[in-house]
Structure 1
Amino acid sequence: MKTSLNLLLIILFLSFVSCSKQDDCDNPVDCLPPATQTGAGTIGCLINGEVFRPGGSQFPGPTQRAVYNTSVEGKYYFSLTAKNRSTNKSIGILLRDQQIGEGETYFLISEGEFTNFAVYNINIIEFQTNNEFTGEITFSKFDDINGIVSGTFWFDGINEEGEIVEIREGRFDMKYN
């Protein structure tokens, strides 16, 4: 009986001290991953003022990913994705036919089939940039030798019903493949 009581006390103690860093932030920006440039494998942002970080099961694939490559036609493509499978939220950024440069900023504005854009999904509802609701991604580090890409982003997206989402304070520091 004493062992059961001790075990219960330990479990209660651990539940109180195991609160995530996100729970004790006065400013939501403080709950985002630090702005690093080492390929730390981090990404996060604020979605309408609330912290978003990838998480949940790694099945059926990674919860965050950066890809930079060239197509058969020799065009460059960059994509950045983050998913939180526990909350059914995800963000994605795609740059089409853009060769990335360190210190460069690229606009996220949809003006046709082959443009840069950003998207936020919650469940099956999609919010996307367009000509009116835009954004930016800035690369503070682009190391093609070590495959490291770091930077910041923000965007506004709109869904089919006209609802708007604000993605702010986005930051990432990842290895790409």
Structure 2
Amino acid sequence: MTTLYLNHLPVNLTRNVFLVLILSSTCIFSGCKKLRLFPEYVEKLPAMTTEGKDTFGCLIDGEIFLPRGTFPMTPGLRKNVNPVTLELQVNRGSKSLNINVSHITNSGEYDLTTNMNSAEYYDGAEQYIATSGKVMIKTRDFMKEVLAGTFSFVLTNLKTGKTISVTDGRFDMKYGQ
């Protein structure tokens, strides 16, 4: 049996390479979906829970803000939570959001611009202070040691006047640990 060669390759190998190229080109140019070994991770806000799951999330000017520290230097979430105090420091790279609510007496609404309550946001060296807004304590469970709720507020850079909106905020914290 004699083998036919084309450019020093067997003809049937050349034909197979040609077919693979044609099929690949057809798939690429016809809009086939890309095959991905690792599907893209899509961040989303945590569910609004009241079980002490130590979750936190919000939207800052419409973008999802979740704890993402630079371990081991900075944890993503630091908390000081007890039945009467909520202090959260949430870090994400060079950005940090701090929420403080003192003298929690019941479930209900707490204004962030009165008493010892406050919220601050740092974007690198830029500081923003809450000029309006509230934290709503939805669950204050002494038996399960849970403090959970929602928040929304407007932050203002006192130097530039630029404002940032924090919306759809939620937290579910366990205390006594």
Same topology, TM > 0.5? yes
Name 2:62's counterpart in structure 1.
49
Name 1:121's counterpart in structure 2.
122
Name 1:107's counterpart in structure 2.
111
Name 1:78's counterpart in structure 2.
86
Residues 69 and 77 in structure 2, CA contact (< 8 A), matched pair in contact too: no
Residues 83 and 89 in structure 1, CA contact (< 8 A), matched pair in contact too: yes
Look at both structures and tell me which one has the larger radius of gyration over its CA atoms: 2
Which of 55, 75, 78 is the matching residue for 1:65?
78
Report the RMSD for the aligned CA atoms in angstroms: 2.1
Q: TM-score, structure 2 length as denominator?
A: 0.71
Q: Which amino acid aligns with 1:20?
A: Y
Q: How many aligned residue pairs are there?
A: 141
Q: Which amino acid aligns with 1:91?
A: L
Name 1:9's counterpart in structure 2.
none
SS at match of 1:121: strand
Name 2:37's counterpart in structure 1.
14
Q: Which amino acid aligns with 1:13?
A: R
Residues 68 and 75 in structure 2, CA contact (< 8 A), matched pair in contact too: no
Residues 66 and 175 in structure 1, CA contact (< 8 A), matched pair in contact too: no
Q: Which amino acid aligns with 1:53?
A: L
SS at match of 2:81: strand
Q: Which runs of 5+ in 2 are unaligned?
A: 1-34
Residues 140 and 147 in structure 2, CA contact (< 8 A), matched pair in contact too: yes
Runs of 4+ residues deviating >4 angstroms:
none
Deviation digits for residues 2-42 of structure 1 (CA, Å, limit 9, x no counterpart): xxxxxxxxxx8333x1x1122xxxxxxxx211101111121
Residues 41 and 174 in structure 1, CA contact (< 8 A), matched pair in contact too: yes
